């Protein structure tokens, strides 16, 4: 799940829209001169750079606190109550798999409709917002809210109305008959209706430095974080439509966007590529891989590699967007539900699936919007559809509209 995030620079007294509090990169007069990444020399403070100007890193300010200073919901495994096989503790009218905005909104709605849902939240509950710092585009929080804190409020709200949330990963499902059977950490759950809200995960390059600087200049969501790179020089990795779209979007904010692609052929559609080529703020670097993200507390540069010659070079850079695709979390459902050509679950009639009683919500089917608020809306719709379906089956009593 992706959403408008703001890096935590304001917590150390810097401008709230400065994701690199305490660091300045001085490109001097060379930055706007059409200089490219390719062919540069090694960049270090005071040395000549590929931009033809010395880089001056100011004294770093106190480091911004990491996202996980925020109170996270305590992970909870299955209790003794959960272990009563088959009956009481593990049979529910509605089971929800996933605990991002879609899953927990479905839980809030269905708990308020007295369905007493169980949420199997995953061993890392909360979805992608748990690795997001400030969320500024979720309605209702004019000052913004930290991603983990937002998910904690979702969780508390769901629990307040009687949702049982268990932080376990689903290992296997059997959707051949009702009640559906779902196994997690060796325990079998049974559900009359099921909502799949397992989300999608952004793919990353897999560099240690990329992980360390995530939220400190490394991002996987331009819509979310672009705003914080106003007047910065940044890079986007990838050669598909996402990368081209994000690069184009980011030119609204950045002074220059370097598109780094490991090959010289693009997966992106011609129209997107042409648009990027025509954009004077985008510089495309083919046969270019990122070997390292440079910087201690914030992104300061990139170690790039020419994929044809293996030659490495360091360049200054103030931000890095990884746009190499997403992986929908469908593993345990792929034998039961339809997947589209991109591997996302296929919905029928808004939130339904090809199996009656199985509903789908959020990024696990939505590769178009991928926003917390759209996922939450989807979770609401799935809960209402599940409730109405359960009513139609005679499993729940008919509710009035005001029950929601």
HEC string for 149-207: HHHHHHHHHHHHCCCEEECCCEEEEECCCCCEEEEECCEEEEEEEEEECCCEEECCCCC
Answer for which of 160, 263, 334, 348 binds ligand NDP (CB under 6 A) is 263
- Residue 361 burial (C-beta neighbours within 10 Å; 0-12, 13-18, 19+): buried
The piece of 82-90, 164-172, 259-267, 312-320 that touches ligand NDP (CB under 6 A) is 259-267
Answer for which of 22, 215, 325, 362 binds ligand NDP (CB under 6 A) is 325
CA distance linking residue 20 with residue 245, whole number of Å: 24
**Closest by CA position to 237, among listed 213, 214, 254, 262:** 262
196-235 positions binding ligand NDP, by CB under 6 A: 205
- Per rule CB under 6 A, is residue 328 in the interface with ligand NDP? no
| # binding residues, ligand NDP (CB under 6 A) | 16
- The catalytic residue among 192, 221, 314, 366 is 221
Q: Which is nearer to ligand NDP, 152 or 371 (CB)?
A: 371
- Per rule CB under 6 A, is residue 267 in the interface with ligand NDP? yes
Report CA dihedral (171, 174, 179, 181) to the nearest 10 degrees: -20
290 touches 320 (CB < 8 A): yes
- 225 belongs to the catalytic site: yes
- Per rule CB under 6 A, is residue 304 in the interface with ligand NDP? no
- Per rule CB under 6 A, is residue 238 in the interface with ligand NDP? yes
Answer for which of 26, 188, 241, 391 binds ligand NDP (CB under 6 A) is 241
- 221 belongs to the catalytic site: yes
Rounded least distance, CB 221 to ligand NDP, Å: 12
193-210 burial, b at 16+ Cβ within 10 Å, e below that, comes to: bbbbbbbbbbeebebebb
- Per rule CB under 6 A, is residue 67 in the interface with ligand NDP? no
| Complete DSSP assignment for 79-102 | -TGGGS-SSGGGEEEEEEE--SHH
- Per rule CB under 6 A, is residue 239 in the interface with ligand NDP? yes
Q: Which is nearer to ligand NDP, 152 or 223 (CB)?
A: 223
Catalogue the active-site residues: 221, 224-225
Instruction: Provide the binding-site residues for ligand NDP, judged by CB under 6 A.
Output: 205, 237-243, 245, 262-263, 267, 324-325, 342, 367
């Amino acid at each position: 799940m992706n959403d408008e995030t703001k890096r935590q620079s304001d917590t150390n007294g810097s401008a709230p829209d400065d994701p690199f509090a305490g660091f300045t990169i001085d490109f001097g007069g060379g930055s706007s001169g059409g200089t490219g990444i390719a062919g540069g020399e090694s960049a270090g403070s005071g040395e000549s750079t590929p931009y033809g100007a010395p880089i001056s890193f100011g004294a770093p300010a106190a480091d911004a606190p990491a996202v996980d200073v925020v109170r996270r919901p305590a992970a909870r495994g299955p209790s003794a109550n959960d272990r009563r096989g088959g009956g009481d503790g593990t049979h529910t009218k509605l089971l929800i798999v996933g605990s991002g905005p879609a899953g927990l909104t479905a839980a809030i709605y269905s708990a308020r409709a007295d369905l007493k849902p169980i949420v199997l939240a995953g061993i890392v509950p909360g979805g992608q917002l748990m690795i997001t710092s400030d969320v500024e585009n979720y309605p209702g929080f004019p000052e913004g809210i930290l991603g983990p804190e937002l998910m904690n409020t979702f969780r508390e709200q769901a629990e307040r109305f009687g949702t049982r949330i268990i932080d376990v990963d689903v290992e296997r499902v059997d959707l051949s008959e009702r009640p559906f059977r779902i196994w997690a950490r060796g325990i079998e759950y049974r559900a009359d209706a099921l909502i799949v809200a397992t989300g999608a995960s952004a793919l990353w390059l897999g560099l240690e430095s990329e992980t360390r600087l995530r939220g400190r200049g490394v991002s996987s969501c331009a819509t979310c974080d672009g705003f914080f790179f106003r007047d910065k020089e940044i890079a986007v990795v990838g050669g598909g439509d996402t990368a081209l779209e994000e690069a184009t979007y980011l030119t609204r904010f950045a002074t220059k966007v370097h598109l780094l692609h490991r090959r010289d052929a693009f997966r992106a559609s011609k129209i997107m590529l042409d648009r990027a080529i025509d954009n004077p703020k985008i510089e495309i670097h083919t046969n270019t891989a990122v070997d390292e993200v440079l910087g201690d507390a914030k992104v300061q540069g990139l170690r790039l590699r020419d994929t044809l010659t293996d030659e490495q070079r360091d360049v200054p850079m103030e931000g890095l967007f990884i746009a190499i695709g997403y992986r929908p979390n469908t593993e345990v459902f792929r034998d039961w539900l339809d997947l589209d050509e991109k591997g996302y679950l296929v919905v029928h009639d808004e939130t339904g699936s090809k199996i009656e009683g199985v509903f789908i919500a959020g990024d696990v089917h939505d590769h178009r919007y991928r926003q917390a608020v759209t996922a939450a809306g989807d979770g609401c719709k799935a809960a209402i559809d599940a409730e109405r379906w359960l009513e139609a089956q005679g499993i729940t009593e008919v509710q009035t509209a005001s029950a929601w």
